[in-house]
Structures are given as structure tokens and as C-alpha cells.
Chains A and B, each alone.
Chain A
Amino acid sequence: MVSQFKHLFTPLQIGPVTIRNRIFSPPYATSMLEDEARGWWDRLAHFHAERAKGGIGLIVMSEVCAHPVAVAHRFAVLDERHIPHLRELTDMIHAHGAKIFQLIHNPGRHALPAYSHLPTWGPSPTRRGALAITHAMDHDEIREMVASYARTAKIIKEAGFDGIELQGAHGFMIGSFLSPATNVRSDEYGGSLENRMRFLDEILAAIREQIGSDMVLGTSLSIDELNPHGITVEEGQEIAARLDSGGMLNFLTARVGDFAAVPIWIGDMRVAPGAAVPFAALVKRAVRMPVLTVLRIKDPFHAERILAEGQADMVGMGRATLCDPELPGKAESGRAEEIRYCISCNQGCLQRYDQGLAIECVLNPAVGLERELGVGKIAPAQRKKRVLVVGGGPAGLKAAETAALRGQQVVILERGPELGGQILIACRLPGREEVAEATSHLVGQVRRLGVEVRLNTEASTRTIGELRPDAVVIATGSAPAALPFKSNDRVRVFHAVDVIQRKVEAGNVVVVFDGGESHWKCCGTAELLAQQGKKVTLVTFRAFAGWDLPPNTVPPFYQRMAEHDVTILPFTIVSGVTPDGVVVRDIFSRRERVLAADSLVHTVDNEVCDGLYRELKGKVPELYAAGDCVSPRKIDSAIREGFLAALRI
């Protein structure tokens, strides 16, 4: 069948390697490397094999760093013992028709001494945005580091990888030598561009000596560090051009940003789709070798455009294939509307990684559990049952989708006029429309799978009894608790969700209180009110607003709050509402004062809506509860519990 993605599925030649399409998975750390006793590389092998099976052309695996000083989280320093295990991994990838490169990472100045117990190494003794002051490497240490790259490359070659990518971007070790912001050396490794490139050049030469020319070698590079003291786009292009003519490299991944710009280069949904593509296009004009681009590209149609306009040769879709490993296959076989799109929330992946946990995906409960729950591992139902799902939010939709995939006969009862649950509220926060794709996709899925959907239908014990289901999944969600404060003549009190849904309009001087957790419900509401032109004060009992958000989304949030002139009061709670305004109290000094305001918008915690579940206990053959109706949490719990409930039916 001729695919509508002409460019996306044209093979690409990188050096001696032919890659079946233009989609690659950029290297992202997963923290899925286990202890030897627990299987070591096996979990990762199945994780990546799932994506290879799903049709991706190239995987660039992370998890490996060059040297013990360069360890962060669960990175591995390779030695011969790894080879047979990595061989199994590469064999699995190759068996599915994909190619695999290995990243040699080296966090350099941004390594984590908590893991390595060693000082961090770099070109110059600066702190500049790193956790610790860097130890400036002397010539012996530079030689040692170059040698460890070469040694690692040799092991990678023996393990059957098709190529190697160096991490040269974002101010990690190689990047820190390249950047004048972090490299103030006065010897031959600092100063002029040629000198700053010397470290990288030596590494490239040493690696080539080990691997020869029948293996691919490439590097990623920050074309623009977005730092006035760092690499600017002119110098980035020059570096790219010199590497191109140097003849050592087979490809270049064009990235953007120094380390501090991580809110951009692992951008959440506020970062524009394909934000780094214009930088890749500039590099494409400067070099002849293939140029790879990555950042917020999750849609095969978008990827096709990028390729059609000659802006890059391959497109990175990391989080996109984390969320839906079958994305390339679905696109190629004309089933693009079945793709489960990544919503770039950063909650399942990056937020967990920052906490030292293995990454997951809020929309894909099988991440990390491919051996047990991966594609094709879900057993069809032994007997076709009549399954009733009460509640059309993410938990109910996921349960319905999974049950239908297993061959059950499924009916969804939804009280409102539309499916989507609280996602319909969440997507109305500023800049968060993409969240709606989580349920939009499931709505399409249940329709395609023949699930019967009854909207505007309230479920009761009686109506459920009449339907005589074999199994019932209750996904009735949660609703905001009562407001703890009362309005008066001069100051009105609102629920945040009512403001978000535009059911009410707040006044002109508003206090927003994150009375529950400090997440998007309150932060987004503050932003919405500020956009509406109100004067906003955001009161939080936490150390900062957005305490529960993925950390790399907080600086941009604060930037936006500053631009809107929003006042943020940390370590503060709202203790009352009077005709003069809103009373706030510092939680440590316990001093109270009155903020002049005409409105208080309160993000109260939700309460479960589990009445129906309690009534039905013992009255139906199988009864399950999933999502917020068990305990008000977030979308990942809803999706996971809906999924698991349907698996048990």
C-alpha cells in the first residue's frame, strides 16, 4: 500500500547503515537499568524492542556513560561483562528490522555526585548553573577521558550496535568544552573555536581508531545555547561545518539550549511543536551529512512536512513512541487516526526521572512492563462478557477500550453530554489544549471498537440491574468539595473549576489559593485570570507555586507570572474572607493580614463520587472501581486503573 507519508518512509543511508524510515527515537534516560540480580539489561531490551516492533527506523539508546565521574541516576560504565547482554538487546532490535545506535553520554559538570561519589569534571572550575563546582581537568585527565570514550566505543562495537552517538549538546562534558560560557581555559583546549573543539576532535579520532569506518559515528550539538555567553547560532553553524568537513562524522543531531534551557529541550506542551526545527534547517544548509532534528515532534504529519521542506533528514519522536510504540506502523499502514498522541505533560516521564524513578507514561501503562503488558501480550477474554462502564472520563474510556480490545461487549454510561471527564476541564487551562488529546484518542478508539456509548444517561442501581451486566467498572470520578469560605457583599468566593469552565467570571482583583496540591489546577487558573486582565495574587502554602509540577515546567511558569505581574505568596494560607478582602496567614510566623480583593478563587481538593460503587457491592457478578472515584488523583492513575480493571474481567 502506498503510504501517504512519502518522505517519512523513504529509507535513509547514514554512512554504511541503511535505516528503513526517517523516524528515530532520540536517546532518553529511562532509569530502567536494573541490578544484575534483577535482570540487568533485560527490561530495557524489551522496552526498546517494543518500539522496534512498532516500526521505528532507528533507536538511539541512552543509559551508558563514558567514565565513573560521569555517572548520573542509573547510568552504566561499560566493561566486557556487558557485551553478551547488550548483544542480546541489539539482536532483538535487529530482529524487528530496526537499527540501534548507542549514546555515549557524559554529563560532565552536571553529573550527580550523589550517585558517583566523585567530583564533577569539566574544563574550568566554575559553578555556573551546575550543582557543584567543577573540577578543572588537567591534561592527564583529558587523556584519560578520551581513552575511556575509545574503550567504551570498542565495547559498543562488539555488542553489535550499528553506530555511536556522542552527547555533545546541552553543556554536558563535550558541550562544556565547546561553550565559551563554561570553558575559560588558557591552554590549547580553550580560547579559540579550534581549541574549544580540540577535546571533541580527539575523542572522534580515538573512537574512529577503535571502530573503523564500517560503523556509524555521529554527535549531537547545541547549535544555539540560548545563552548570550555561550554558543550562538553563528558559531554553532561553524562548528557543524567544521565537523562536516573533518570527515569523522556520519551524522549530526541539531539541538538547542545549554543545560539551563532544559525547560525547552525537554519541552512540555507549552513549547511550540518542532521548536528546534529552524535550527536544524540552518545546519542543513551548512553541511552535507544527514541532519537529525528532535523536540516536540509527535505527529507523523508534522514529521512528513519537516522532511518535505528539506529541514532535516530524520525526525526524532522520543516521547511520541514512548506513549505509542506502534506509531510508525500505524502511520505506515494508513491507521494514523489510531495513534495515541503524546500530550507532552512530562508527568510520567521526566518528573519520575527527576525523582530517580524508572520512567513511565501517563497514557501508556505498559511502559517498562513490556514483558508482561506489551503489545500483543494482552490475552483476549476467555468468555465474551457484557461489560458496563459507568463514567466516560479517562478511567472509564481506558477500561472500555481495553475490554473491547479483549473482545468484550462494552457499554459506557455517561451522565453528561460529552465523553472526557475532568480532562474537559483541564484542557481549558491556558496552553493546555493538548491534554484533551488523551481522551479524544480514546473516544475515537471506543467508537472504532464498536463500544456502545450512552450520553446524558445517569446510572443507578436499578438501571444497571436492568442491563444485567456480567461486570461493572465504576469510573464515576470525583468533584470539588464544598468551599470552606462564604462569599459576602464585597468579596465573592469561587471554585477554580467553575472559573476554568467559564461558568463564572471572577472580579478584577483576585486571590487564587492552591488549597489542595500545587499543580496546574491552581497555577493554570492563576494564569487564566491574569490573561483575562485581572490583578492576581497566588497564595500557596508550599515553598513555591507549582511545587507538584514537573520541575522543568516551573521556571517558564514563573516567567509567565512575572510577565503578567502576578504576585506569588509562598508559605501562606488563606484563613478567612471578610468584606475588606481575603485574610492570609504566614504558616510560620502565623501573622495575618488582609489582601484587598473582590474575589477568592479556591482550588479545593476533590471528593470521591463513589456512592454507586458502594451500592453495587455484592449486587453484580464482577465489580471494579478505577480512577478518581477511588481517590482523587491524576490522569495516570485513571488510565492505569481503568486498564488493569479491564484486564481482570
Chain B
Amino acid sequence: MARLLGQRPCAITVGGEGDSFATQLRGFGLEKLYVLDPRAAPQWTPETYAQAVTSVALRRKPKLLLFAATPLGSDAGARVAARLRTGFISECVDFAVEGERLCARKAVHGGEAHMTLRWLSPPPWIATVDLDALEAIEGANRCAPQVIEDQVTLEAPRTELVRRWKVDPRQLALGEASLVVGVGRPIIARAQELSRLKEAAESIGAVLGVSRPVTDAGLMPKESQIGMSGNWLAGDVYIACGISGSAYHMMAIHKVRHLIAVNIDRDAPIFKSAELAIVADLFELLPALGELSKTTA
């Protein structure tokens, strides 16, 4: 996108390990990484993030300021735009240059139409970006960005973050859960063991899902299905048990950060894609995992 404008892309982050983060970012084409001292704020909340970004923006004068359209990004982005009283376009799915001006396109009216908008106020132009609409591009330019330590002085925040906590996994939809255990075909012939496996999943704080043959056989409802025609996962860890790893299943879990595969077949195809491959009988392993979590909890 910076190429569209002929500008140089930079990023702002807060944290102590600026250098290691910078190395992780190599190949994404960032020129500079402004790193802020985490001690500049008592807590890092949308309010303090917004203040910090505003401060950096006023000094560094970017033309375009982008936030991800996540709960944090949307919140902070709106605050920065309100503070700077500058144009704000949220949940953009695409950008284009028309004439000399940058335009952003977003879904409106629940996705029934797309609206193309452009900024009339002077820069910085602020937008939040719908992450689903984009894909990460690892480009040829594999340099880590230049790390610049930036100073900010913030006012005392007026809202306070009291606690951060996780919802009971049993209340989460599969697509929202951080930890998911998936069970495949082998359960069909051993349906009586399903409750033991459910218990084990609960003990480790996971939501239990199943592959499609299992819902076809009527053992679990459709809401529990993981797969192309069921739930697509986007969590942190997925433990796939007795699931061979068909292309369709892999598509539905490609956003998961870490894949653990448990299968009694040494040559299960899913092992080629798993970060941790365990050759074991799931009917022994899952309960053992559940027991272990109970005793160490």
C-alpha cells in the first residue's frame, strides 16, 4: 500500500524487545519501527495506546495511520482520530489511488454494498483495516526495519483496566476458542467413550469439536463440527486426535497458530503439518492429559 502512495511504511509498537520483534518483521517491507518504552504508561489500554500514537503521529507526521480493525485497534484508532479531529474510515477492505487521491473501500449496510470514500481533511488520514480482507505479503525485501526508540509522555489515564480474564471455554463457539480439541473417525465405533473425552477436554480448558463423519453418524450436533462445512478455527492451539488431516480439514484450521496431532497411524498425513506430532491412542492419551491437568491445576 505504501507503494501505492510512493511512501515509506513504518510501524509503532510498545515493548521491551524491539530488536527481536524487528527481526520477526523482516520481509514485510517495513522501513522503521518506533518502539515505545512500556513504562511510559501505568497500563496499556486503548486510552493509553491512543495517547501514545497521537503523540508519535504529531511528531513524525505520517500521511496515513492504519490500525487493525480489532477491538483494540478500532477503539484506539477512533480515539486518535477524535483527538486529531481528522478523517476516519473504519473496516476498510481495500485501498486504491484514484486520480491523485487515496480512496478506501468498505462494506456498508451489513455487506450489501461497498462504499468507496476518501479523505478531505489534511493528513494524517486514519483508517482501520479489516484483517480478513488482507493477506500477509512476505516480500523479496527481507530487511528488518530500523528500530527507533521513541519517547512519549502521557497524561494520567482516566479509565482503569481492572482485570483480564478468559471466558469458560464451554461458553465459547469453536471459532472463538483459544484451545480446541478435535476428535475424528475412531470415536464412531466407540461412541460410549465420548463423555470421557468431553471431560478430558474440559479439564484442560479446551472446547471439544469433531470432524464431519462424526456428525454424519449423529454422535455430536452440527455446531460441534470442525471443518470446511462446520466451524473454522482461529485459535492458539488445536489438538487434532484421530484426524487424518484431509485437505478440507486443513483449510478450516489454517489460521490456528499451533497444531498438535495425535494419531495411532505413524503415517497419518496430518503429521506433515503438525508442529507437535504424537503417535498414540487418543482414547488413552486424552484422558491422561485430562488427569495431568487436574493434578497440576
Contacts and interface: CB of A to CB of B under 8 A. Distances in A.
Given A6-B111, A337-B222, A447-B218, A302 B267 contact: no
B282 to A, nearest CB: 14
A299 B248 contact: yes
Q: Is the interface of B mostly helix, strand, loop or mixed?
A: helix
A406 interface: no
A418 B188 contact: yes
Contact of A440 (B111, B212, B248, B264): B212
A315 to B, nearest CB: 14
A301 B264 contact: no
Interface string B184-197: 01001110000000
B24 to A, nearest CB: 25
Given A300-B229, A444-B215, A444-B217, 20 more contacts: A6-B111, A299-B228, A301-B228, A302-B228, A336-B229, A337-B216, A417-B189, A418-B188, A418-B189, A418-B217, A431-B269, A440-B212, A440-B217, A443-B213, A444-B216, A447-B216, A502-B264, A531-B267, A532-B266, A532-B267
A300 B229 CA distance: 8
B222 A434 contact: no
A528 B267 CA distance: 8
Interface in A299-343: 299-302, 305, 336-337
A430 interface: yes
Contacts of A447: 216-218
Interface string B205-218: 00000001101111
15 contacts: A301-B228, A301-B229, A302-B228, A302-B248, A302-B251, A337-B215, A337-B216, A337-B222, A417-B190, A418-B189, A419-B217, A430-B267, A430-B269, A440-B212, A532-B266
Interface of A: 6, 272-273, 299-302, 305, 336-337, 416-419, 430-431, 433-434, 436, 440-441, 443-444, 447, 502, 528, 531-532
A433 B251 CA distance: 15
Nearest to B135: A309
B186 to A, nearest CB: 10
Sorted nearest first, the 6 A-B pairs with minimum C-beta distance are A444-B216, A417-B189, A418-B189, A301-B229, A531-B267, A440-B216
B247 interface: yes
B273 interface: no
Contacts of A440: 212-213, 216-217
A272 B247 contact: yes
B216 A441 contact: yes
A582 to B, nearest CB: 23
Contacts of B218: 444, 447
Nearest to B249: A433
Contacts of B264: 502
A392 to B, nearest CB: 11
B23 interface: no
Contacts of A301: 228-229
A305 B215 CA distance: 22
Interface residue range, chain B: 20 to 34
B244 A433 contact: yes
Interface of B: 111, 185, 188-190, 212-213, 215-218, 222, 228-229, 244, 246-248, 251, 264-267, 269
Nearest to A442: B216
Contacts of B267: 430, 528, 531-532
Given A417-B189, A443-B217, A502 B265 contact: yes
Contacts of B189: 416-418
A444 B222 CA distance: 12
B122 to A, nearest CB: 32
B271 to A, nearest CB: 11
A525 to B, nearest CB: 13
Given A302-B228, A418-B189, A532-B267, A273 B248 contact: yes
Contacts of B228: 299, 301-302
B111 A433 contact: no
A379 B218 CA distance: 28
A137 B116 CA distance: 52
A436 B251 CA distance: 19
A6 B266 CA distance: 40
B244 A273 contact: no
A419 B188 CA distance: 9
A299 B251 CA distance: 12
B216 A443 contact: yes
Nearest to B188: A418
A337 B223 CA distance: 12
A336 B228 CA distance: 12
A337 B229 contact: yes
Most A CB contacts (10 A, CB to CB) among B111, B190, B244, B247 go to B247
A447 B214 CA distance: 12
Contacts of A436: 185, 213
Contacts of A418: 188-189, 217
Contacts of A336: 229
Contacts of B246: 433-434
Contacts of B217: 418-419, 440, 443-444, 447
